[in-house]
Amino acid sequence: MSAYLNLNTMEYPRHIGDIMLDGWNQQDPIPSNWVEIEYVNPPVINNDQKLIVGQPVQNNGIWTHVWEIVPKTEEDYEYERKIAEKNAKIDNGDFVN
């Protein structure tokens, strides 16, 4: 699935349906205020980091996806602990809400 950037509002990520909501017909070229974003594979990170989607950048006329590496927060670690606990219960055959 492709992602798009609205150059008027800098809203990202946007998708084909968002362009259609602007009145675009798929038989027409994409309006000039919209650009398709070239996907970039995520970088390798360590256990103390997480990835967030950054604002796309333009290089040599091509708009590309940006990954930002940020440190995990205590909330991230707490979320991971809760998921691990639920997975352990599932592995033991327990019902999990």
- The backbone torsions φ and ψ at residue 74, rounded to the nearest 5 degrees and listed phi first, read -60, -35
Examine residue 21 and state whether it is found in any structural domain, yes or no: yes
Q: What pLDDT, on a 0 to 100 scale, did the predictor assign at position 42?
A: 96
Residue 33, domain member (yes or no): yes
Whole-model pTM: value is 0.73
Q: What pLDDT, on a 0 to 100 scale, did the predictor assign at position 1?
A: 73
CB 4 within 8 A of CB 34: yes
Q: Is residue 95 assigned to a domain?
A: no
What's the total number of domains in the chain? 1
Inter-residue contact 48 to 72 (CB < 8 Å):
yes
The answer to whether residue 17 is domain-embedded is yes
What H or E segment, with its residue span, contains residue 34? strand 34-37
25 lies in which domain range? 3-71
From first to last of its 97 residues, the chain has per-residue pLDDT tens of 789 999 999 999 999 999 999 899 999 999 999 999 999 999 999 999 999 999 999 999 999 999 999 999 999 999 999 999 988 887 667 665 5
